[in-house]
Structure 1
Amino acid sequence: MANTVLDVTDADFEAKVVEAQGPVLAVFRAEWSAVCRALDPVLAEVAKEYADRVTVARLDIDRSPETPPKYDITAIPTLHVFNGGNIVATRIGPASKNNVVDLITPHL
C-alpha cells in the first residue's frame, strides 16, 4: 500500500484496484471539476495517514473513458471502496476528510 495517491488508468485499473490485496479507495474524477480538485488534498491526507491499511487510487474519467461505465459512474466525484474485488461502499459528490474516513473505516 502506498502513502501517496496512486493514479490509475483503463490499462491498470483491474490489476491495481480490483485485484489488489486489501481495501482500495478508488476515486473517479475529472481535472476540470472543482469539486474533484478540492478532494485531492483530502485524498493525499488519507493516503498518508492510512498507508498501511488502504490504497487510495484515482482515475481521470476523461483520460480513461472505458472503466467508468463498468462501475456505473454517472457523477463525479464517485468514491468506491473495493475489497476482495467487490465494491463494498460508495459515496458520490463532495467529501470531507471525515466523510472519507467514515467510508473506509468499516473495511480496514
Structure 2
Amino acid sequence: MAPCLRVLRAMPWVPIGGMDAPSQIRAPSGPREGDDRPVLLFFSNRRSGPARRMSSLVAWVGVTEKKRLRVVEIDAERHADLAEALEVSTVPSLVLLRGREILGRLEGRATGNDITRLIGPHIATRA
C-alpha cells in the first residue's frame, strides 16, 4: 500500500461542515464496494483567511456533486502527518484521489472554475 494511503486510512475523516462535531468524526472504512467516486480532500485551517473563504465554495461543490464525488475537509494543523504524506505545503489545498492514485491538486485559493477543471475529467457523467 502506498505510504500516503496508510496514513489516510489511519486518520479520521471529517465530513464538510462537521469539523467541530466529534460525533461525526469516524475512521474511514474505505470506499463502499462499487463506490468508485473520487475523493476531494480539502486541507484547511481556521486561521487561514483564504481557507475560510474557500470553505463555502468547497461545501457547495460537495453538495452539488455528491453523487459523483466525495468531499472531505481536513484540518491541516491537527492532521499534519496526513498533510505531509500527501505533500500538502499550503493551506488551503485540494487533493483529488481515486483509490490509491492522486489525480490532481490545487494549492492556494481556488475559484469555482479552478475546482471544476480539477474534478471535471475525473467524475462520472451519471447524475
Q: Partners of 1:23 and 1:77 in 2: how far apart?
A: 19
Cα distance between partner residues in 2 of 1:100 and 1:31: 21
| Residue correspondence of structure 1 range 30-69 to structure 2 within 5 A | 30-69=45-84
Note if 1:5 corresponds to 2:20: no
Higher relative contact order (Cα pairs below 8 Å, separated by 6+ residues): 1
After TM superposition, give the deviation of residue 61 of structure 1 in Å. Answer: 1.2
The two structures have a TM-score, normalised by structure 2, of 0.70
What amino acid maps onto 2:101 in structure 1? Answer: N
User: RMSD in angstroms over aligned alpha carbons?
Assistant: 2.0
Percentage identity across aligned positions? 23
Query: Which blocks of at least 5 consecutive residues in structure 2 are unaligned?
Result: 1-14, 20-25
Q: CA deviation at 1:51?
A: 0.8
User: Which structure has more strand as a fraction of its residues?
Assistant: 1
Give the secondary-structure state (helix, strand or coil) at the position aligned to 1:35.
Answer: helix
Aligned match for 2:96, one of 73, 76, 81: 81
Which structure has the larger Rg over C-alpha atoms?
2
Structure 2 residue identity aligned to 1:41: S
SS in 1 for 2:80: coil
Structure 1 runs of 4+ aligned residues shifted over 3 Å read: none
1:80 alignment partner AA: V
Aligned residues: 99
Which runs of no fewer than 5 residues in structure 1 stay unpaired? none
Matched, 1:101 2:116: yes
Q: CA deviation at 1:104?
A: 0.6
**Offset, 1:5:** 2.2
Deviation at residue 6 of structure 1 after TM alignment: 6.5
Structure 1, residues 32-57: CA drift from partner, whole Å, max 9, x if none? 00000000110111011101000111
**Structure 2 SS opposite 1:66:** helix
Structure 1 length-normalised TM = 0.81
